[in-house]
Amino acid sequence: MGRKLELLLSFSVLFLASAEPQKNPHGSDIINENADFGTPEHDNRVHTELTKLDEKDVARLIAADYFNGSVLPCDNETAPGQWMVYCSGRLLQAVMAVKLYPDSKTFVDQPMKVNMTGELIMEEFDKRFPGSIEQYSKNEIGEFVDEFFDKDGHELDVCELPDWIPSPSKISQISDPTYHAFAQRLHFVWIQLCRKMKPEVKEDPSRFSILYVPHQFILPGGRFREFYYWDAYWIIKGLIGSQLYSTARNMIRNFAYIIDKHGMIPNGGRVYYLRRSQPPFFAPMVYEYYLATQDLQFVTDMIPAIEKEYTFWSTRRLVNVTVEDVLNETMHMFQYKTEAQTPRPESFREDVLSAEHFVSSARKRQFFQDIGSAAESGWDFSSRWFEEQTNLSTIETTNIVPVDLNAFMCYNMNILQFFYQLTGNPLKQLEWAARLRGFRDAFTKVFYVPSRKGWYDYNIRTGEHNTDFFPSNAAPLFSQCYDPLNSQLAVDVYNQMESSGAFALPGGIPTSLHKETHQQWDYPNGWSPLNHMIIEGLRKSINPTLQQKAFWLAEKWLETNMLTFNASNAMWEKYDVKEPDAKLATGGEYEVQAGFGWTNGAALDLILTYSDRLKYKGPVLEELVGSSSTIKATTYLSSKKLTNSTSSSPESSTTHSSSATTSRSPIIITIIAIITFYTF
């Protein structure tokens, strides 16, 4: 009884503390960090070319015909029961024209009500709202949506991790007490992010925009209430660090299921993502899982899916590149290039406003394709894709042959030849090894610039390389798409990045050195996958100096993560790395998001990589160290009972909300905790 009381008090203290608005490291409430989200001021800040328009002008713009003659994000072939609601049509335009929700993503995440179909809803909408949609009010459109759609965020249930262990042996071996406490806290975050599909999604999938998968998975967090593709690689790295091998395996099996059904892995788990993918990390996920478990049968089972995904990229995303400096030889390379030519449904209003000054329909279609292709890259948006650094309207993603995508495809080829060697198929191993050798040679010819001692994106319109710093320039170090015995090449690449000032910021590596773009994939924002890739690329080199540089960069990035976690009790999607203390990032189309799957995974992986070397030398982090035992004693209990007994999806909302705040009543939570505890 005494132990029960101790746990109960700890549980109550934890939730009483969490009822306070979380603070950023500079003292303001995090919810106000982007207080103008969803307002005209936000649109003007993000979309620099947007002229001042009144709401009638905006409604007329949104009501224009963007669909006739254009390739849609999903259609009757890819989403036969949903496309007319979530990827096209007057209803989608009407919701965006009246700005029914602050976040465009809210509507396209709402499921249709039971016994409703997309055809019936559109038939009823056309009957009630004939003529031009801009004549109808927000209340009228809102009443229709409430009648025919459920609220967003109710497709998923909270789930328990079947392989959960409170104190994994890997984490127990971390020598520094502060980093040990931090890793332990990260370990418990997985409980909060675990989700599984509700039965009705499998039974009646045409009511939902979400894509059904059979196994549970880890969400990124925040507004992202579905799986995302390249996020999952770093999530799986973290799950492996937490020794949650079954959970990691199930996430990979979900992707194999999606590949089997759709022939590719979409950007995320929604029908409106079905015409664009994300950086191809499925094979690396399987590879990391094999390294951790030595499960050869699983590799054998996954090889067909890896090959099928490779076929998607090699048939749908190839481009011929002719570089004058290599005797006009034409090479086949990969690029991000969605076929969709309309505004992205999840950002429909924003895309229309960004394209408002283009006159011709053809130019608008090209703009929307370039916007969607940038989203396929994962870098949405960055000056990396712009002809003019600060001007989103000059985006030309489909003219750019990206060094990182091709480095990742090189990695896929290498993994496939390794897997065929493992599974005893020498003919296939030789086939892929030969393909890898040829591709590495072409890769060097297209991307390596001797005078700049590095790899750089190639623009097929200008015939020139973009030699500005971006972390993507180091992707070949991560994927080892170069001769690993050529240690000087890796040194040259590091020196080039260092001389640009890319490693000079105290909080980590920025996404570019281009200032004033207001884009989230630019200066001063640092992202976990990019910092992790550079660190890993240097660590994998055979040069001891570069390996030490990797450790130095890991220390900086982890300290940023840890200080912000201590101040806000959350991990975040991205960070402002120009400040000596931790600060949340800004820029982009939505508020900075808490959670956050790939940030947790990358941090946990780096802590475990350097578990015997990391030493925290800063001031005592009372919030982090002082609460670790309470978290250990109570988080799993609250996850198993309290979350399931209140709301099946704590992210559910009809408006955009930040995970950094809570409206819970601490008294109610404590009462529920008492009831829950004694039924546990």
Closest CA to 238 of 194, 287, 187: 187
155 is catalytic: no
* 661 close to 21: Cβ distance less than 8 angstroms: yes
For residue 17, how many other CB atoms are within 10 A of its CB? 13
Question: Which of 520, 528, 505 lies closest to 601, judged by CA?
Answer: 528
The single residue of 103, 176, 346, 380 carrying the catalytic annotation is: 380
CB-based burial label for 5 (10 Å; 0-12, 13-18, 19+) = exposed
Backbone angles phi, psi at 195, to 5 degrees: -140, 155
- Say how far apart CA 557 and CA 508 lie, in whole Å: 5
DSSP 8-class letter at 7? H
Nearest to 643, CA basis, from 617, 616, 662: 662
- Whether cis (ω within 30° of 0) applies to the bond prior to 450 is no
Burial of 169 (0-12, 13-18, 19+ CB in 10 A): exposed
Which member of 573, 576, 591, 605 is catalytic?
A: 573
Alpha-carbon gap, residue 226 to 122, rounded angstroms = 25
β-bridge partners, 149: 112
Cis peptide before 381 (omega within 30 of 0): yes
Q: How far apart are CA 290 and CA 591, in angstroms?
A: 36
Q: How many CA atoms lie within 13 A of 238 on its CB side?
A: 30
Q: Are 658 and 31 in contact (CB under 8 A)?
A: yes
**Number of Cβ within a 10 Å radius of residue 491:** 17
Residue 140 is among the residues annotated as catalytic for this protein: no
Q: How far apart are CA 432 and CA 374, in angstroms?
A: 29
Can you tell me whether residue 338 is helix, strand or coil?
Answer: coil
Are the CB atoms for 395 and 385 separated by under 8 Å? Answer: yes
* CA–centroid distance for 387 within its chain: 25
Q: How many CA atoms lie within 13 A of 103 on its CB side?
A: 19
| Of residues 160, 231, 109, the one with CA closest to residue 651 | 109
d(CA 226, CA 155): 9
Active site amino acids: 380, 573
